[in-house]
Amino acid sequence: MQKLGKREEQIMQVVWQLGKAFIKDIIDGLPEPKPHYNTVATMVKILTEKGFLQAEKLGNTFQYTPKVLLADYRQQDVASIKKKYFGNSFANMLTHFAKEENLSDKELDELIQLIKSKKSN
């Protein structure tokens, strides 16, 4: 699976959130300053060609739905970050976030419980 560029990822975030969308819906969901309609249409066409979106013709327009699930893209993206910045070590990545993100005691406890439950599976 390819890595998305910043604007591509913003478009996919909107479509993932909506489930299905027309170009106008996508533009409405993007942050200011809103890009021009043709710019978004071109990016959506590229995302369709890359296999991230599926287009369905409805009348004289297209409705787009995700072909790649957010969970699948997120998993691939996190794996890439783990490999690139943390020597492919989940423990190193987790240690970084535990130190840098100032996790609350409750968050740390939840994380420990999650890790323990994964070990027992």
Residues 61, 13, single domain; the answer is yes
* Percentage of residues in the chain having pLDDT higher than 90: 57
Number of domains present in the structure of the chain: 2
Residue (of 56, 48, 49, 43) closest to 8 by Cα position: 43
Residue (of 59, 64, 51, 57) closest to 22 by Cα position: 64
pLDDT higher than 70, residue 121: no
Q: Does residue 83 belong to any structural domain of this protein?
A: no
Average pLDDT over the chain, rounded to an integer: 91
Q: Does residue 73 belong to any structural domain of this protein?
A: no
Range of the domain at 120: 88-121
Residues 59, 92, single domain; the answer is no
Burial class (CB in 10 A: 0-12, 13-18, 19+), 68: buried
What local confidence, expressed as pLDDT, does residue 29 receive? 97
Q: Does residue 72 belong to any structural domain of this protein?
A: no
Q: Give yes or no for a cis peptide into 35 (omega within 30° of 0).
A: no
Q: Does residue 113 belong to any structural domain of this protein?
A: yes
Q: What CATH number is attached to the domain comprising 14?
A: 1.10.10.10
What local confidence, expressed as pLDDT, does residue 95 receive? 83
> CA 46 to CA 72: how far, in whole Å?
19
Q: Does residue 61 belong to any structural domain of this protein?
A: yes
What local confidence, expressed as pLDDT, does residue 33 receive? 92
pLDDT higher than 70, residue 66: yes
Residues 94, 57, single domain; the answer is no
